[in-house]
Structure 1
């Protein structure tokens, strides 16, 4: 049974790695390339077992030391793939090269350990360092995704499928798996990874395959507009440069409210900052400034307040009693049950069901 799982793991990782690097759907190019490398490096953890299965015994350090180095690189490359998902124009700084010291140190410890004929204490040190490195980059990746979630609300009215929730779940799964494998290896230094760990790993791989092959392009704005919006959002109120005069701000606020009431662009579940800016004859940067300055909120919350209000009106209308709450949510511009429930409660302070029940009692 374990042999079958190992074969499925190795083959699935190689195939998925090829698909992400080739990127036939042509989305999130840099991020998918790096994530494809992650899966390719990850597959090497089962290479030794595959070589045994095909009766190819390779003992040479010239073969295995580079393989081990790529394995040590896996958490680093995973972090940089997350960085590219969060920002396709991510560029390396000098401080980023410090991260590559981790796999180099691990490789040195491994070489010293082999020189001393696999000293038990050094083996434990190596395992501990691998676990520490894995946890370090898992935490960094998780933080990067949380920042990404905040930033995409500046551009998109619906974050479903572009909020990297699938990668967040993968990080949590890998965190659990690393903790399990780390404890297992510390307790049983000479033992091979057991069937349970391989099955968990295979489940993670299939989860990755399902989500990565249906992913959407995250950033539709060009680099300049995106950087302008992010930089202006990060400025303090006192230092924020005015793009619109106070008098014009008031008139454009009224114009925007009228547009939202009359044309109801929020009913389009894919409404983006760029699309609404085009309706206003603004640049995305100008519209972002208008919403932030006039309404004191991000584009995401601005649009979704209109959607929540629309849901409330439809829920209270007795002519819509034949419709489900979710059906009304989709009619109002939402495209995900989870995001609808979360957003509705955040804005209204109660769940859709509670609102409908309380409204019916009035």
Structure 2
């Protein structure tokens, strides 16, 4: 490798690792964190570790005991689950993560525990780069490929959820759909590049791949400032497209709502929202509301979709916006952000977006307009 190019890669990878680390700290120490921030913190920390080990290798810095040099393998197993949970907790309103879902981190934890044993049994090459330099595929290389394939299961699930906005109409009319599609293209190309670099046994190309990941971190940093409302917009667009699709579907002959008094169910649902004010809970889920009503989640979902023409997130957000309108007028000294958190939103960007969608003006414009009418 050209010494100048090697030095450039070294500095760039280290810069990416440093940025990922400081970003992880920034999200961890946010005053008001949501569950998505914790998963973003985890993801950025894992990327930091992965890039640092690439930097150690290119600098030819090795550790004892031997297995420490292979810590990037379990870290790679953590990338897919972290991306998945960050995406869904950021995009899906009320998405909950229980202990069963966290089992997706188990493969990485198992590999982490087994590394010292593999090392003691002599199953790890003395040099991490042995596959690329000598062409000898070892256990560590098999585990790394396994981590790569494992992560792609989670990428596919994200793609499956968001693919509804990849139709021609959405891509043509919605900026957020184009951005989301572009993000998938970029990540996909980086992954394809990684496959070819590994297959060609080219260590230089692998280091360039690490530089691409570092570049992705920089892009994420710039992207998060340029489009702070991205996930809120994406959530709204996905919900809108799903509702449209459900309304176009022919009604099934057999309904899960047979035997249920729909008028009574509607009254109970509205009463539950008005009296118990469940909508003010940030992590409110469809299952929780269905349980309060004594029905199954799929029955409540069918009722909202088929009889009210909306999904659960839209139903809850209507109550949140109405309550926010009241609070903005009643509590004049309270900030817009405080009102947003009070009624159940987890970010100001999301609140502003949905308030504008339902009311036709921003919260600030709404307050000014009402004050002008009073005077």
| TM-score scaled by length of structure 2 | 0.49
Query: What's 2:285 paired with?
Result: 272
Query: What's 2:75 paired with?
Result: 16
Taking the aligned partners of 1:36 and 1:344, their CA distance within structure 2 comes to 43
Contact 2:323–2:343 (CA<8 Å) still a contact in 1?
yes
Contact 2:70–2:140 (CA<8 Å) still a contact in 1?
no
Query: What's 2:213 paired with?
Result: 201
Contact 1:273–1:284 (CA<8 Å) still a contact in 2?
yes
* Structure 2, gaps ≥5 residues long: 1-6, 15-50, 55-68, 83-97, 113-123, 166-179, 221-245
Question: Of the candidates 317, 335, 339, which is equivalent to residue 304 of structure 1?
Answer: 317
Cα shift at 1:69: 7.5
Cα shift at 1:197: 5.5
Which aligned pairs between 1:101-140 and structure 2 lie closer than 5 A? Answer: none
Taking the aligned partners of 1:82 and 1:191, their CA distance within structure 2 comes to 25
Taking the aligned partners of 1:168 and 1:207, their CA distance within structure 2 comes to 15
Q: Aligned residues, how many?
A: 246
Question: Of the candidates 326, 330, 333, which is equivalent to residue 313 of structure 1?
Answer: 326
Cα shift at 1:275: 1.4
> Are the structure 2 counterparts of residues 247 and 241 from structure 1 closer, same or farther at C-alpha, using a change threshold of 3 Å?
same
Query: What's 1:342 paired with?
Result: 353
**Superposition CA RMSD, Å:** 5.2
Cα shift at 1:263: 1.8
Contact 1:145–1:168 (CA<8 Å) still a contact in 2?
no
Taking the aligned partners of 1:29 and 1:262, their CA distance within structure 2 comes to 34
Q: Is 2:366 aligned against 1:355? A: yes
> Are the structure 2 counterparts of residues 193 and 275 from structure 1 closer, same or farther at C-alpha, using a change threshold of 3 Å?
same
Cα shift at 1:299: 1.0
Cα shift at 1:330: 0.8
Q: Is 2:256 aligned against 1:243? A: yes
Q: Is 2:154 aligned against 1:81? A: yes
Taking the aligned partners of 1:171 and 1:32, their CA distance within structure 2 comes to 23
Q: Is 2:294 aligned against 1:284? A: no
Q: Is 2:313 aligned against 1:263? A: no
Cα shift at 1:305: 0.7
Contact 1:32–1:81 (CA<8 Å) still a contact in 2?
no
Taking the aligned partners of 1:203 and 1:49, their CA distance within structure 2 comes to 30
* Structure 1, gaps ≥5 residues long: 40-46, 87-141, 150-166, 209-232
Taking the aligned partners of 2:193 and 2:76, their CA distance within structure 1 comes to 25
Contact 2:131–2:137 (CA<8 Å) still a contact in 1?
no
Contact 1:31–1:81 (CA<8 Å) still a contact in 2?
no
Which aligned pairs between 1:144-183 and structure 2 lie closer than 5 A? Answer: 144-146=160-162, 171=184, 174-175=187-188, 177=190
Cα shift at 1:331: 0.6
